[in-house]
Structure 1
Amino acid sequence: MFTKLILRVCGDCRYPPFEFLNDDGVFKGFNVDILKAIGKEVGVEIYFRAMPWSEAIRAVQDGIFDAIQGMALSARRQDIFDFTEAYLVVSHSVFVLRDRYDILTLNDLKGLKVAVQKDDISYDLINTHLGSAKTFLHYIFTADQGEALNELIEGKVDAFIGNRLTGTYLAQKMGHIDKIRLVGQPISPQAYAIAVSRGRKQLVEIFNKGLRAIKENGVYDRICEKWFGLVAEDLNSHIIDSVDVGVIGLNRMGIITSINSYACKILNIKSHNLIGKYALETELVRYFDFGIVYETMATGKAFVDHEIEIKNGKQSLLSYNIFPLYGESNKVIGVVISLRDITLEKHLRENLARKDKMESLGMLLANIAHEIRNPIMAIKTFVEALPVQYGNPRFRAEMLKYVPMEIERLNKLVGELLQYARPRAPVRKWCNLNEIVNSVMVLFQGQVNSGIDFDVQIDTSLRIWADEQQLKQILINLILNATEAIKEKGKVKITAGKGQDGVWIEVEDDGCGISSEHLGHIFDPFYTTKEKGTGLGLFITYQLVKENHGDIRVFSQKGRGTRFKITFYQEVRYGENSDNR
């Protein structure tokens, strides 16, 4: 007697419209209908179970269930599961509240709270896009995307990252669609397939056989039309065409396989002139660095946030990313170039920076009267007493001591104010970081004899794209701050290196440290705990770091020293001859 094969398949209980429990507790969705159709076609019985997503992943890994009915592919997941042929393309996006215009791209999430479904592909995608900068995100992991959306609506997080269709579907169903918006470009579209535990090749082939059959007999298209209003082939192209980001696909040979309408629009080109042609023989070479494109094909390394200026009637600034496209056995089979127009975004950023600077100037004006009044009053006191006290030797001695001291204090204060109020535009170029640090250390040679030990560890060939004079000023301010924190004997350590996003520099001391109550104010103008400090050194340092496209962070505990870390987001280069691509 023939026994029908029974396959145990699980899926997310709250991931509409792909799979979800409806109000009656019935497991429904696009994935459910696809698996039912496959089972019918190959003569197997499918037993379904809806559960939280993280439990579904463990259930297949532990062999309790045979398959997960739908999962987006990533390099990490392909090390854990075997996948069928892809049957859909899915994309993920950043969701924010409608009035959050300070968040325009993934990079703007640094330092903010971000809700992500536990074990969702979004986390892998963030790692790929942000590299080491991902450590600056504060993740809030949720059981499902509905919970993540609620965290956003209630103001508990700054953003939610999840499936574009699911997030929009849930927002509509929960009555929040008018409270949110999607920002930036969709995070690179992903292939979507059935996942089984590693090594079950026979099971993969059963699913693939059924999948091919339902695609050939039209059942697949009818299911797509039922859930998405489009047939399968149109659905994938519609997803790519409907996003406000340009997408260009190249195969391993460098032949253009696809280009969406947004890319054609912002580059002012026609798709039928490009499809099927070698990219190097087309006008795309005017816009993209194909050395990087072919490096991605060879190594699988992604390149993000490159910028180009184009003139198509008007001057526009574009940002583009290059991502590897993986096939079977996790091999690179091509690349995807995504691009978007950031001209308006740049203007918004400049306006925000201008607004921030005006607010800072307001703080300066509020404090400057008090800071200047003190030395002026001291000088005024001596001048007024001069006619009657000039014959007093002690008075003359104190006047000769304190008046020049107060004048120097005024001069230093005005000099630092002018440096902020009238800063020159940075002139950035490739500089040898080790040479810059060594030139700065000459200024601190006298500190060595006073009991301070300097430890400099920097690769002699490490180069940085920055304004050389401003970088020197940044280092002088931080090293001076470190030496002043050491009362008698101590150590100042200066290190640097490369990360995925660019170059980092650290200045660390084992001095008195900074208490938690002061730590949040050290970059404010005129904020100082030093007896003779102006409170402008770190404030100016912060401004110079920002002008050179960097971030500065401070780590400190009272009595345990302080560490400043600067990250300059840029391409990393080594060696003297690395300016030529």
Structure 2
Amino acid sequence: MKKIINKSIAVVLILVILLACLPMVSEGARTNIKVAVNCNLPPFQFLDKDGNIIGLHIDIMNEIASKENLIIEYLAFNETSKALEALENGLVDVVLGITSKNDVIKGLRKTNDISSATLCMLVGNENVNKILYEEEQQKYSVAFELGTISFSQLSQLKNARNNLVMGNQKQLYEALVKKQVEAVIGVKESMLYMLENNPDYNSYTIVLNYFSTINYTALTRNNDLVLHNSLNRGISKLRASDTYEQLLDKWIINTEQEAAEEMRAKMLSYIAAFFIIALIVISIISYTNYQLKKVVAEKTKEISKRVQQLETESNLRERLIEFSPAGIMLLKKDGSVLMMNSIMRSLTGIDSIKNKKELNIYDLKIVGNIYKQVSCNNNTIERPVIIKYNNDSENLIFRCYCQSINDENDMVLMVEDITLEEKEKHEIFELRKNKALNRIIAGMAHEIKNPLMSINTFASLIRKQGKDKEFQEMFAQHVPKEVDRINRLINMLINYSRPVRSNKERVSVRELINDSIYFAQLSARKIKHINIKSNENIEAYIFVNRDQIKQAFINLILNSIQSIEEKIQNMGGSIVDDLVISVSSYRSDNKVYLEVYDEGCGIDESDIEKCLDPFFTTKATGLGMGLSLTKQFVEDNFGKIEIESRKNQYTIIRMIFEEDKD
């Protein structure tokens, strides 16, 4: 038994010695090897301008060759598949720069990793937002090199579509530059190297700095174990030495390190600048500290003087409020009175509120009534409100304002007794009215003279020709017309001289227009070739005397009807298309516009300003009071009237009022 064991041990020792000697013999025999290189992976392996194969992987292989006693001949290939085919057919001994993620072809073997790189996503600047903000659901196309990433990794890009597979990194870069795709997932070191030689370097952005890591290795044949071991041994020795780091620094652009160094330099410059500025500031502070002490004393005197001035101004404001001609009251939202001036105390009959606890405005007779009518407790009243109040058979008129003064809705109520002012205004108005009437009566005498002359002529002839049928027909035709003319003139005079009523209200513009158009359509029913239209009118409100503005609007429409009627007569009735009267309303800059447009005779430019004067008319039978009355009605309601016209073409008359938004 012992003999058998001894023999077995001897056989094993002999085999071990033979195997150990075999690599040495083979290694000594193989000194020349051929290495296939796909030259489309700068800076790892590529062709320079002279056609020489260079790069990180080439330098690594040269270092390994020097350590392992190898002589290398590099053969350039454009496609990895061709290089692998050459390796399988024995034309080359090694294929350099194969990604470790690639499946190994049967009969071939991978060496240890010779280098590693980072995959990133590179895009044109115009597509950065589309890719960064995926929630916007914008689809984009992506290209990548076969074997660098898996499709499961690609699925992480939710909005990627039309994914293209390329054969090498140069193809990826060219596809992006030629805009065949919107993004590429490529080797970061390779993309940066190629961008360095592109004048449009700044037109591209790395939006995903790290997608995954990729390792590069070399392939040998399975039966070439000696070469395989030699390469692995050389790779291990090289990666453990400083030479490997030197080769990396030579070929790989370390953007993070460059950015860090740049940032470090900036920080150092900022720190230096900070210290310099700090020294300057400290010097300035030291210098100004003494000056400030002197200034503080002066400012203290100024502040004391200012405090006294503020106290004086405060006392002055209090006195101005106290002796204001208008009654002023400060009160809370619930009506609790905080302060009153002398006029307000006089209105309320209260001498002082200092000893009055929980005084409320609703308990005060006159002012409480005014407060309710003004509705101050709802919001700020920006325009004055006129309140009429009967106090023991005495008619009083007050002008009231209300203003919110803070977030707690405390209010200031101002009440001014304008009874005497209104009486004086009424007297002045009547005086001006009488002056205007004197002018109107003078013009009226001339207007009445013509119809009276006609009537007088017929009256003087009635005895001589009273039985003449032709005379009777002329009498029956002309005398009533002249009487009607005098009657219309007198009615217009009465309307013009009638006192203006002050009963204003909130009026709907749409209702006002609809009522006026209905009246106008009745007036024009028997007239051919007139088309009265109402455009889409706004829903707005104005604060006016309803009857006055309605009458003014009707006057404008009737003027338009008469103007078109006159135009039809002047044209001898030869009208093809209807002439239009258009009524519309619109708002602009918080104002409401009521507009009447007609295609009548129009007005001469020289007559536009005169046509609003009493008794001015261009019509043979007109009285010249319609537009004058309209102007008076509009101005009495704080409005404005505008006229735009072109002779024989059109006329536009606008009434403009402030919009009532309450």
Within 2, Cα distance between the matches of 1:5 and 1:483? Answer: 89
Q: Who is 1:269 aligned against?
A: 350
Deviation (angstroms), 1:337:
1.9
Answer yes or no: is the 8 Å Cα contact 2:643–2:652 preserved in 1: yes
Within 1, Cα distance between the matches of 2:497 and 2:416? Answer: 34
Q: Who is 1:455 aligned against?
A: 534
Within 2, Cα distance between the matches of 1:253 and 1:214? Answer: 44
Aligned match for 2:370, one of 280, 283, 287:
287
Q: Who is 2:402 aligned against?
A: 322
Q: Cα–Cα, structure 1 residues 504 and 415, in superposed 2: closer, same or farther, change >3 Å?
A: same
Answer yes or no: is the 8 Å Cα contact 2:370–2:387 preserved in 1: no
1:6-85 equivalent positions in 2, closer than 5 A:
43=296
Q: Who is 2:151 aligned against?
A: none
1:149-168 equivalent positions in 2, closer than 5 A:
none
Q: Who is 1:221 aligned against?
A: 307
Answer yes or no: is the 8 Å Cα contact 1:6–1:44 preserved in 2: no
> Does 1:481 find its partner at 2:571?
no
Deviation (angstroms), 1:531:
1.5
Q: Who is 2:445 aligned against?
A: 369
Q: Cα–Cα, structure 1 residues 491 and 274, in superposed 2: closer, same or farther, change >3 Å?
A: farther
Answer yes or no: is the 8 Å Cα contact 2:337–2:361 preserved in 1: no
Answer yes or no: is the 8 Å Cα contact 1:292–1:303 preserved in 2: no
Within 2, Cα distance between the matches of 1:43 and 1:526? Answer: 77
Q: Cα–Cα, structure 1 residues 251 and 510, in superposed 2: closer, same or farther, change >3 Å?
A: farther
Corresponding letter in the other structure for 1:361: L
> Does 1:305 find its partner at 2:385?
yes
Q: Who is 2:485 aligned against?
A: 409
Answer yes or no: is the 8 Å Cα contact 1:4–1:44 preserved in 2: no
Deviation (angstroms), 1:536:
1.9
1:233-244 equivalent positions in 2, closer than 5 A:
233-244=314-325
In the TM superposition, what whole-angstrom CA distance separates every residue of 1:119-175 from its partner, at most 9, and x where no partner exists?
xxxxxxxxxxxxxxxxxxxxxxxxxxxxxxxxxxxxxxxxxxxxxxxxxxxxxxxxx
Deviation (angstroms), 1:292:
3.3
Answer yes or no: is the 8 Å Cα contact 2:386–2:397 preserved in 1: no
> Does 1:343 find its partner at 2:419?
yes
List runs of 5+ in structure 2 lacking aligned partners.
1-281, 569-577
Q: Who is 1:247 aligned against?
A: 328
Q: Who is 1:466 aligned against?
A: 545
Within 1, Cα distance between the matches of 2:555 and 2:286? Answer: 72
Deviation (angstroms), 1:305:
2.8
Q: Which has the higher helix share?
A: 2
Answer yes or no: is the 8 Å Cα contact 2:400–2:413 preserved in 1: yes
Within 2, Cα distance between the matches of 1:290 and 1:443? Answer: 36
Within 2, Cα distance between the matches of 1:273 and 1:493? Answer: 64
**Aligned residue pairs: how many?**
360
Deviation (angstroms), 1:321:
0.8
In the TM superposition, what whole-angstrom CA distance separates every residue of 1:452-482 from its partner, at most 9, and x where no partner exists?
33225445785866354x4443332121112
In the TM superposition, what whole-angstrom CA distance separates every residue of 1:62-103 from its partner, at most 9, and x where no partner exists?
xxxxxxxxxxxxxxxxxxxxxxxxxxxxxxxxxxxxxxxxxx
Higher CA-based Rg = 2
Deviation (angstroms), 1:324:
2.6
Q: Cα–Cα, structure 1 residues 376 and 269, in superposed 2: closer, same or farther, change >3 Å?
A: same
Q: Cα–Cα, structure 1 residues 410 and 334, in superposed 2: closer, same or farther, change >3 Å?
A: same
Q: Cα–Cα, structure 1 residues 5 and 334, in superposed 2: closer, same or farther, change >3 Å?
A: farther
Within 2, Cα distance between the matches of 1:428 and 1:534? Answer: 29
Answer yes or no: is the 8 Å Cα contact 2:520–2:554 preserved in 1: no
Within 2, Cα distance between the matches of 1:570 and 1:5? Answer: 64
Q: Cα–Cα, structure 1 residues 275 and 220, in superposed 2: closer, same or farther, change >3 Å?
A: farther
Q: Who is 1:93 aligned against?
A: none
Corresponding letter in the other structure for 1:318: F
- Provide the secondary structure at the position in 1 that maps to 2:384: strand
- Structure of greater relative contact order (alpha carbons < 8 Å, 6+ residues apart): 1
Within 1, Cα distance between the matches of 2:595 and 2:448? Answer: 34
Answer yes or no: is the 8 Å Cα contact 2:387–2:398 preserved in 1: yes
RMSD: 4.4
Within 2, Cα distance between the matches of 1:285 and 1:5? Answer: 65
Q: Who is 2:625 aligned against?
A: 536
- Provide the secondary structure at the position in 1 that maps to 2:556: helix
Q: Among the aligned pairs, what percent are the same residue? A: 22
Within 2, Cα distance between the matches of 1:564 and 1:461? Answer: 16
List runs of 5+ in structure 1 lacking aligned partners.
8-38, 46-209, 225-229, 574-581
1:183-222 equivalent positions in 2, closer than 5 A:
218-222=304-308
Corresponding letter in the other structure for 1:565: M
Q: Cα–Cα, structure 1 residues 516 and 278, in superposed 2: closer, same or farther, change >3 Å?
A: farther
Deviation (angstroms), 1:218:
4.5
In the TM superposition, what whole-angstrom CA distance separates every residue of 1:357-378 from its partner, at most 9, and x where no partner exists?
1112211221222111101212
- Provide the secondary structure at the position in 2 that maps to 1:561: strand
Corresponding letter in the other structure for 1:466: N
Moved more, 498-507 or 331-340: 498-507
Q: Cα–Cα, structure 1 residues 397 and 333, in superposed 2: closer, same or farther, change >3 Å?
A: closer
TM-score normalised by structure 1 residue count: 0.51
TM-score normalised by structure 2 residue count: 0.45
Within 2, Cα distance between the matches of 1:376 and 1:360? Answer: 24
Corresponding letter in the other structure for 1:481: N
Within 2, Cα distance between the matches of 1:256 and 1:214? Answer: 39
Q: Who is 1:78 aligned against?
A: none
Q: Who is 1:201 aligned against?
A: none
Deviation (angstroms), 1:565:
0.6
Answer yes or no: is the 8 Å Cα contact 1:306–1:321 preserved in 2: no
Q: Which has the higher strand share?
A: 1
Deviation (angstroms), 1:273:
5.6
Corresponding letter in the other structure for 1:250: L
Answer yes or no: is the 8 Å Cα contact 1:267–1:312 preserved in 2: no
Corresponding letter in the other structure for 1:256: V
Q: Cα–Cα, structure 1 residues 484 and 274, in superposed 2: closer, same or farther, change >3 Å?
A: farther
- Provide the secondary structure at the position in 1 that maps to 2:491: helix
Moved more, 399-408 or 424-433: 424-433
Corresponding letter in the other structure for 2:611: I
Moved more, 239-248 or 344-353: 239-248
Within 1, Cα distance between the matches of 2:373 and 2:355? Answer: 16
Within 1, Cα distance between the matches of 2:431 and 2:287? Answer: 64
Moved more, 355-364 or 231-240: 231-240
Deviation (angstroms), 1:490:
4.0
Aligned match for 1:522, one of 595, 601, 611:
611
Q: Cα–Cα, structure 1 residues 355 and 516, in superposed 2: closer, same or farther, change >3 Å?
A: farther
Within 2, Cα distance between the matches of 1:426 and 1:339? Answer: 20
Corresponding letter in the other structure for 1:287: I
